Amino acid sequence: MKPAPVLDRVRIVLARTSHPGNIGAAARAMKTMGLSQLVLVSPKSFPDAVATARASGAGDVLDAARVVDSLDAALRGTVFSAAMTARRRELSLPMAYPRAASQMLANYTAQGDVALVFGNETSGMTNEELALCDLPVTIPANPDYSSLNLAAAVQILCYEMRLSCETLAPPPDGAAMAAGFDEVEGFYAHIEQAMIASGFLDPGNPRKLMPRVRRLFGRVRLEKEEVGILRGLLSALGHKVD
Amino acid sequence: MKPAPVLDRVRIVLARTSHPGNIGAAARAMKTMGLSQLVLVSPKSFPDAVATARASGAGDVLDAARVVDSLDAALRGTVFSAAMTARRRELSLPMAYPRAASQMLANYTAQGDVALVFGNETSGMTNEELALCDLPVTIPANPDYSSLNLAAAVQILCYEMRLSCETLAPPPDGAAMAAGFDEVEGFYAHIEQAMIASGFLDPGNPRKLMPRVRRLFGRVRLEKEEVGILRGLLSALGHKVD
């Protein structure tokens, strides 16, 4: 099986990248593995001659890159997203290694676009960014020195994506359709407003209510029909949101 | 199981590297995965401030790097070596992917040092260099753009080595000991001299005799005892070499 059409559905999202050279090197790493969709969230400098130089023969990936101003915008239209993170966070989902994560992403390509998200070189992903993604991923590394270069991390994940897509089995008939990013975020907005309207959530003292809600529903990976049921229930309970 | 002691037995050999920045980036990639043994064969410039800068926190790997003037010297004392190559060569051994190759290398660490060899950025490995290695390895890549940066290739192989060493099973009791690089090369020198002395090989017109011999015995991966038998036989046939 040729992996190429499936790999076209994999977005590499670089969030708030500081060094344009890393954007170029990431584009090169992507192209070597057959990936083409690059999305940049508020890059410090792009386009940039340094990025173009480091991209080497992958200038076409840079030329086609989309620049957006939020991770939310980068993930719109995806059905599954994985985020690189070096450390476990409070309330985070169970972490996966790249091999297992890429197999999950490859499976979801049957339903639409998927995304691999990489945070800033120094600060990584914010908790808010991580909360938008379905699966935290950590690259196994030397505990005394786990400082992978951004493009090196992109290279490993793209390599695993290529291998996973090469060995992809066809999806089973009648598989439930995963809810997309937009649908799940719509549900979170709905439940948050319902909680506020009911007095259950005090916006002045939100505690960790919404992160806990996200953690709960992030773990189950909602299907389309389930989002419909949950939102229908919220509406029926008298907290209609439009 | 902690992979560290096993990873200390894996040499990363960079042959005739042109850009010192790539040496530094390779050192960083090694350290992130817990590897420490770097061997440089005739680097164009080393030590070099550019290498040190790109190594980031992996300066200790650079400081401990050995510089030698031939691949032969770099492989001395190893029991198994794999060489990255982008293309199939005439008379080459069957190629492996990084995952399978790293599992083989990990298994051989029970018997001694192993090596992963990376050629020059532009020209790769020479046929002579490749002939010194036990296993050609190719990284699966986009057929239209397979130009991985040297450090990116090192990163992928070190990542696979770390994973393979984490899941290493103990070697079976009574496993045959692999012949080391020095023993196998000693055998090749012996058989070549025997062929010349007997008139079978004309040094003025060697055809592809020695590459074919290397290909044959490279495929079987000689054990210590077998080298002893073969050299004993050559000596008994009257072509003693010391």
pLDDT recorded at residue A92: 61
CB atoms closer than 10 angstroms to residue A205: 7
For residue B74, count other CB atoms closer than 10 A to its CB.
26
Cα B67 to Cα A130, B17, B239: the distances in Å are 44, 12, 36
Query: Residue B123's pLDDT is what?
Result: 93
Given a cut of 50, is residue B1 above it in pLDDT? no
Instruction: Give the pLDDT of residue B173.
Output: 67
CA distance B76 to B189: 15
Instruction: Tell me whether residues A145 and B32 touch, CB distance under 8 A.
Output: yes
pLDDT band at B95 (very low <50, low <70, confident <90, very high): confident
- What is the mean pLDDT of the segment spanning B32-41? 97
How close B171 comes to chain A (CA, Å)? 24
Q: Is A57:B168 a contact under the CB 8 Å cutoff?
A: no
What is the C-alpha radius of gyration for chain A, rounded to an integer number of angstroms? 19
Residue of A nearest to B3 (CA): A142
User: Are A168 and A193 in contact, with CB atoms under 8 Å apart?
Assistant: no
Angstroms from B152 CA to nearest CA on chain A: 6
User: Would an 8 Å CB–CB cutoff place A3 in contact with chain B?
Assistant: no
Q: Which amino acid is at A150?
A: L
CB contact under 8 A, A155 and B148: yes
pLDDT at A173: 67
Give the pLDDT score at A1.
Answer: 43
- B147-185 pLDDT per residue, tens: 899 999 999 999 999 999 987 776 666 677 889 999 999
Q: Which candidate in A155, A157, A160 is best for mutational testing of the B interface (most B CBs within 10 A)?
A: A155
Sign of CA dihedral A27, A31, A33, A34: positive
Q: How far, in whole angstroms, is CA B68 from its chain's centroid?
A: 14
Sign of the C-alpha dihedral, residues B104, B109, B113, B118?
positive
pLDDT band of residue B88 (cuts 50, 70, 90) is: low
- Contact between A155 and A51 under an 8 Å Cβ cutoff? The reply is no
A21-25, B58-62, B118-122, B128-132: lowest mean pLDDT where?
Answer: B128-132
Question: Whole-angstrom Cα distance, residue B63 to residue A234?
Answer: 63
How many angstroms separate the CA atoms of A170 and A190, rounded?
34
Q: Is A70 on the interface with B (CB under 8 A)?
A: no
* CA atoms of B95 and B86, how far apart (whole Å): 10
Q: How many CB atoms neighbour CB B31 within 10 A?
A: 27
| Conformation bin of residue B77: beta by default, left when phi > 0, alpha when psi is -120 to 50 | left
Whole-Å CA distances, B153 to B7, B104, B146: 17, 18, 11
Q: Is A119 helix (H, G, I), strand (E, B) or coil?
A: coil
Burial class (CB in 10 A: 0-12, 13-18, 19+), A113: buried
What is the structure's pLDDT at B171?
A: 65
Residue A161: CB partners within 8 Å, gap ≥ 6? A7, A10, A33, A35, A102, A105, A106, A116
pLDDT at residue number B122: 93
Can you tell me the distance from the alpha carbon of B214 to that of B198, in angstroms, rounded to the nearest whole number? 19
What pLDDT is recorded for position B166? 86
Distance CA B165, CA B35 (A): 11
Running DSSP on this structure, what letter comes out for residue A215? H
Interchain pair B146, A56: CB under 8 A: no
Burial class (CB in 10 A: 0-12, 13-18, 19+), A86: middle
pLDDT for position B77 = 94
Choose from A1, A145, A164 for mutation: most chain B CBs within 10 A.
Answer: A145
**Pair of tokens at residue A234:** 């919220």
Q: What ipTM, to 2 d.p.? A: 0.75
Q: Kindly give the parts of chain A with pLDDT less than 70.
A: 1-4, 88-93, 169-174, 239-242
Cross-strand pairs, B80 = B114
pLDDT value of residue B60:
97
Looking at mean pLDDT, say which of A175-184, B66-75, B134-143 comes out highest.
B66-75
Residues in chain A closer than 8 A to B151 (CB atoms): 149, 152
